[in-house]
Chain A
Amino acid sequence: MAPTPDAANFADPGFIARLQRRDEDALEAVIHAYLPQIYRAARGAGLDAQNAEDASQATFTTFLEKIDSFEGRSHVRTWLFGILYHKIAETRRAVHREETAEDIDEVMEQRFDERGMWSQPPREADREFFDAEIRRHIEDCLETLSGVQRMAFLLREVEHMDSAEICNTLEVSRTNLGVLLYRGRNRLRECLESRNIEG
C-alpha cells in the first residue's frame, strides 16, 4: 500500500497531482487528516451535530469538485477551512441575522476615561470561578459574535492558526483580522461579565 502522506507534505506538488487524479489513497489521507478539525470547527461555529456533519461532508465534496483549479499556492488546510467558512456563512444566513451595527466599540470606549485608564474596570473573579462561568455561558455568548468574528476567534484559539493563515482562510486583511478578534473577544467577555452579574 502507498505510504500515507502526513500533513507536512500535503503541499507537495506531486501530492496535489495525485488528488487531481482522484487517487483514493491521497484523498483518504486528506480526509483522515482534516475531517476531525473541520467537524470541530463547524461545531465551534455554532452548528449542531447534524448540521456540522452536513457542512463537513459538503466541504470535502466542494474541495474535490474544485481540486483541478487548486494550484497549491495555499495549503490544503487553508483551502478546506476557507470552503467550510463559506458553507457556514450560507447556513448561518438562513438561521441567523448577521448584525451590522457594531456596538462593542462603543461599549469598550465607555470603559475608559479621557486619560485612557479604566473607568469601568473588568470585574475581578478568580480563575476557577471565571472558567466555570465560561463553561456555563460560552455557547450562548458565542451567539453574540458575528459569523466571521467567531470563525476568526476559533481558528486562532482552537486550530492555533497564525495570522497569515487566518487572513487567507477568511479572505481578510491583517488589519481587518485585528478588528475581528478585538470585537469578537470583547463581545464574548462583555457577555460573560453580564451573565455573571445577573447570576
Chain B
Amino acid sequence: MLHCKDVHHLVSSGAVDRAGLMKRLELKFHLLMCRHCRTYVAQMTALGRGMRALAGRQRPDPATLARLERDILDECCGHHHDSPGPT
C-alpha cells in the first residue's frame, strides 16, 4: 500500500511515468482519499506550468532571433545573407 511519502516521491522524481498499472491504480486511489497529496500533486503540475509560462515571457523577439541566426552563419562560414542561397 502506498503512503504519502511514496506518493510525493513517485510524482516529483518522475518515477510515476514508468510505474506499472497496479502502482498507478494505487496512486489514483490514494489521491482520491488524501487531500494533502492532491494538493502536493497539483502544486507539482503547477510548477511545470509556471516554468513554461516563464519560458513564454522570456521568448526573444523574431528580430533578435534573425540577427542571432545571421551572426552564427557569418561566424561559421562567412555567410552573406544577401547571397542567393542555393549552391
Q: Does A163 contact B (CB under 8 A)?
A: yes
Min CB distance B66 to A, Å, is: 10
Contacts of B71 in A (CB 8 A): 57
Interface bracket on B: 35 or more
Cβ < 8 Å to B, chain A residues 144-162: 153-154, 156-158
- The reply to whether B44 and A27 form a contact with Cβ atoms under 8 Å apart is no
- The reply to whether B65 and A127 form a contact with Cβ atoms under 8 Å apart is no
- The reply to whether B75 and A35 form a contact with Cβ atoms under 8 Å apart is no
Complex CA gap A185/B16 in Å reads 14
Main DSSP-derived SS at the A contact region? helix
Contacts of B50 in A (CB 8 A): 131, 134-135, 138
**A22, A121, A154, A189: which contacts B44 (Cβ < 8 A)?**
A189
The 6 A-B residue pairs with the shortest CB-CB distance in the complex, in nearest-first order: A116-B3, A134-B50, A121-B36, A116-B5, A178-B13, A182-B13
- Give 17 new A-B contacts, CB below 8 A, not counting A112-B4, A138-B50: A25-B86, A31-B69, A35-B69, A36-B60, A43-B58, A44-B55, A53-B68, A57-B68, A116-B3, A116-B6, A117-B4, A122-B43, A134-B47, A135-B54, A157-B48, A182-B9, A185-B44
